[in-house]
Amino acid sequence: MAKKTIVVKLGTSVLTSGTEKIDRAHMVELVRQCAQLYKQGHDIIVVTSGAIAAGREHLGAPELAPTMANKQMLAAVGQSQLIFIWQSLFNIYGLNVGQMLLTRADLDDRERFLNARDTMRALLDNRIVPIINENDAVATAEIKVGDNDNLSALAAILANADTLMLLTDQEGLFTADPRNNPDAKLIEVVDVIDDEIRQLAGGTVGCLGTGGMATKLQAAEIACRSGIDVVIAAGFAKDVVLRIAAGKRVGTLFPSHISPLESRKQWILAGPTPSGIVIIDDGAVNAITQNGSSLLPKGITAVSANFKRGDVIQLQSLQGKLLGRGICRYTSDELATIAGCHSCDIESKLGYGYGAVAIHRDDLVLF
Ligand SMILES: Nc1ncnc2c1ncn2[C@@H]1O[C@H](COP(=O)(O)OP(=O)(O)O)[C@@H](O)[C@H]1O
Ligand SMILES: N[C@@H](CCC(=O)OP(=O)(O)O)C(=O)O
């Protein structure tokens, strides 16, 4: 099987097996499957819910008023319990984990998005399993993603994932909420998420989870638009992670009809107004247009306007021809400092570096 990047989102319903306590035995089973995929060479990212449930359990299920501060307190206590459990379980398989607690602000701001992406990349490159949750202890309603289904779709985009698995306490999307409709039927494939599909999805009935099926459909929509296939399936089903990864029919599949690269390039072309222009020499023009190379600082001769890391900028030749657009990994000031330099000199010029390329070829669209 070709190497894949797979995001596995585990809802509170899966991690507690429907009880009020974290089901560690079931977590071992899920970790075994993730570790097996990791050993096969795939990149695995876990998006874990369950901090609030773990906090309640650890404090002995206290009677608390349902305030935001109390929920945040439970999450603060529970998150450390949760990451400890994940770390102990992955260690059984000789794998380390790295915790990333995110909020909407980390994903909306282009520069913070790139920083988070770099951290995720560094974890994966070092064969460390990223374990992601919302930073519930500090995130207020305004800066929250709000539910881990949507968070997992954003994490999948951050990771350039191929597949997002949303594992829950139902076998997939049904024609109605199976808890109240015993005749509801499993839908095996959803090609287009339209209003008809959306209206099938109800909310959650658990007090510890958030969103129900509605947020899973929102997540599926976001991820599919970015070229990521999504599967909603039961976390309790035997070998569920392994079977989905092997392409077996499990749960509800939402196939994406676009590749991640195509979707990214569409966004670069149709997305934000370019924030600046970078002039490049003939060698660089040749490298990016003929050889499909990334743009290195060496080929840059001038930088105009102020732009931030992660902004979309235009590329222009010395003769004034507009060549294309790309997402720049350095600010305009940094680029002006390293223009004409070899990539190996970036760190000595700036005192730090964000990698050898100014614009990666995957972030570049030529006209
Ligand atoms: N059409 C539907 N098909 C399947 N489940 C549904 C549907 N509508 C609502 N649900 C509910 O969504 C719940 C799963 O969401 P949630 O409780 O948030 O779980 P998780 O903790 O895994 O995110 C199910 O237990 C089910 O009752
Ligand atoms: N971030 C919260 C979970 C939020 C959430 O969306 O829960 P769920 O619906 O169970 O995936 C926690 O760790 O308790």
Summarised one tens digit per residue, pLDDT across range 99-120 is 999 999 898 888 888 899 999 9
Instruction: Please state the rounded mean pLDDT for residues 326-352.
Output: 96
| Ligand 2 centre distance from Cα of residue 285 (Å) | 48
Task: Tell me the per-residue pLDDT of 329-339, one tens digit each, with 9 for 90 and over.
Answer: 999 999 999 99
Find all residues with CB under 8 Å of 19, minimum gap 6, and list them: none
**Residues 47 and 9: beta-carbon distance below 8 Å:** yes
Ligand nearest to the CA of residue 177, numbered in listed order: 1
Residue 206 has pLDDT above 70, yes or no: no
The pLDDT value recorded for residue 157 is 93
Sheet with 128-134: strands ordered across:
96-102, 128-134, 43-48, 5-10, 163-168, 229-234, 252-254
Task: Tell me the per-residue pLDDT of 217-254, one tens digit each, with 9 for 90 and over.
Answer: 999 999 999 999 999 999 999 999 999 999 999 999 99
Pocket of ligand 2 (CB under 6 A): 11-13, 49-52, 75, 133-134, 136, 147-148, 209-211
Task: Tell me the per-residue pLDDT of 131-161, one tens digit each, with 9 for 90 and over.
Answer: 999 999 988 887 899 999 999 999 999 999 9
Nearest residue (by CA) to ligand 2, atom 11, is 11
The pLDDT value recorded for residue 52 is 95
> Which token pair is 266?
């569409």
Ligand nearest to the CA of residue 18, numbered in listed order: 1
12 known ligand binder: no
| Ligand 1 centre distance from Cα of residue 59 (Å) | 27
> Which token pair is 32?
């075994």
Residue 90 has pLDDT above 80, yes or no: yes
> pLDDT tier at 356 (50, 70, 90 boundaries)?
very high
Nearest residue (by CA) to ligand 1, atom 23, is 11
Alpha carbons 45 and 174: distance in angstroms, whole number? 26
- In sequence order, what are the beta bridge partners of 186? 174
Shortest-distance atom of ligand 2 to CA 52: 14
Phi-psi region of 359 (alpha: psi -120 to 50; beta: other; left: phi over 0): beta
pTM: 0.90
Q: How high is the ipTM of this complex?
A: 0.98
Phi-psi region of 324 (alpha: psi -120 to 50; beta: other; left: phi over 0): left
Q: Which domains does the chain have, with CATH numbers?
A: 5-258 (3.40.1160.10), 265-366 (2.30.130.10)
Find all residues with CB under 8 Å of 198, minimum gap 6, and list them: 214, 217
Place of tokens 């949303």: 166
Closest CA to 188 of 272, 144, 248, 129: 248
Place of tokens 């760190």: 347
The pLDDT value recorded for residue 139 is 83
The pLDDT value recorded for residue 317 is 97
**Residues 172 and 233: beta-carbon distance below 8 Å:** yes
